[in-house]
Chains A and B, each alone.
Chain A
Amino acid sequence: MAKHEQAQPLPAAVFHILLALRDGEQHGYALMHRVEELTDGAVRMGPGTLYGAIKRMLADGLIEETDERPDPALDDQRRRYYRIAAAGERACAAEVQRMETLLRNARESRPNLGHA
């Protein structure tokens, strides 16, 4: 079992990358942009943060590096592509579930939450 398949929250960077990779295989730059889109521009990862998280996620088996190129003719060979692994899909789904539960419970106790 991967380390993140536990009931504890995923680190924000890990969750953002997993969400971004659910759209398909991506390289670092595309991932950075997708995370920015997903968070409405609130999160823009730098190279150190992005590859630090990727290193951890590869070690935890949440993502995999892939040799396949969507379009080898147009692509730079130095770019590395990543895809979400089965454990990553499960961890992402569990995190979404955890957030939904948290939000539902918070709204039940405070119905006006988020509508200030």
Chain B
Amino acid sequence: MSAGERGYRALLFLYPRRFRREYRDPMVQLYRDSRRDRASWPRLASDVVTSVPRQHKEAFRTMSTQGKLLTASVIITIAIVAFMAVGGALFALALMLVLAWTLARLLRERDAQLSSGFWWKLTLSGVGVFAAGVLIFAGPWPQSWRDAIPGELGWWSGMFIFCTAIVMIVGGLLSGVVQFASRRRLSH
């Protein structure tokens, strides 16, 4: 296998899993045939750049409501954590609003229904997880207990707990926005 083919196979990991599973072999075959015709790498790269977002959009469109909420929440959380790390909290908030609006529009188009109370239960659970995290990591525990936990383990488990809490809170609030929007639509 050539280095170019290995590189192209690596690029295929950018596509959604289902699409990759179904079309990886014929795509690699097409890559080999194209390379025999001296197809240029910039052309292949531009094909990847244009088709990857399209396939992810398609995969998102066909996801279940819960899957969409979870994906949107994870993306928003990653965006918040990433942008806060470089001091772009306002940008992260704007991104969150745009994603919430897009999600609400997509769900409304598909007439998706969520069980009532789902949003506040999820939000409250997130707040609970967050509070538990604060209690665990900032509680009045003896120094000997703190020293017993390796630093790296403490950091990773803290990140996991706080990220989970943010995903739950954001997911809950987004569900609330969607539910509020669909109720308003029904009452008009």
Interface residues of A (CB under 8 A from B): 27-29, 32, 44-52, 54-56, 76, 78-80
The distance from the CB of A75 to the nearest CB of chain B, in whole angstroms, is: 11
**B25→A46 contact, CB < 8 A:** no
**A32→B26 contact, CB < 8 A:** no
Q: Please, how many residues of chain B have a CB less than 8 angstroms from a CB on the other chain? A: 23
Interface residues of B (CB under 8 A from A): 15, 19, 22-23, 25-27, 29-31, 33-34, 43-44, 46-48, 50-52, 54-55, 58
**Which residues on A sit within 8 Å (CB–CB) of B31?**
47
Contact of B43 among A27, A46, A56 (CB under 8 A): A46
**Which residues on B sit within 8 Å (CB–CB) of A52?**
19, 51, 54-55, 58
**Which residues on A sit within 8 Å (CB–CB) of B33?**
29
**By DSSP majority rule, is chain B's interface helix, strand, loop, or mixed?**
helix
CA of A8 to CA of B52, assembled, Å = 25
CA of A80 to CA of B48, assembled, Å = 21
**Which residues on B sit within 8 Å (CB–CB) of A48?**
15, 27, 47-48, 50-52, 55
**A46→B29 contact, CB < 8 A:** no
**A47→B55 contact, CB < 8 A:** no
**By DSSP majority rule, is chain A's interface helix, strand, loop, or mixed?**
helix
Which one of A29, A47, A80 has the highest number of Cβ atoms from chain B below 10 Å of its Cβ? A47
**B29→A76 contact, CB < 8 A:** yes
The distance from the CB of B187 to the nearest CB of chain A, in whole angstroms, is: 31
CA of A51 to CA of B47, assembled, Å = 11
**B44→A79 contact, CB < 8 A:** no
**A78→B25 contact, CB < 8 A:** yes
In the complex formed, the residue of A with least CB distance to B54 is: A52
In the complex formed, the residue of A with least CB distance to B45 is: A46
**B30→A32 contact, CB < 8 A:** yes
Other A-B contacts than A47-B30, A51-B27, 16 sampled, CB-CB below 8 A, are A32-B34, A46-B48, A47-B26, A47-B27, A48-B47, A48-B51, A48-B52, A48-B55, A49-B47, A49-B51, A51-B26, A52-B19, A56-B58, A78-B26, A78-B29, A79-B26
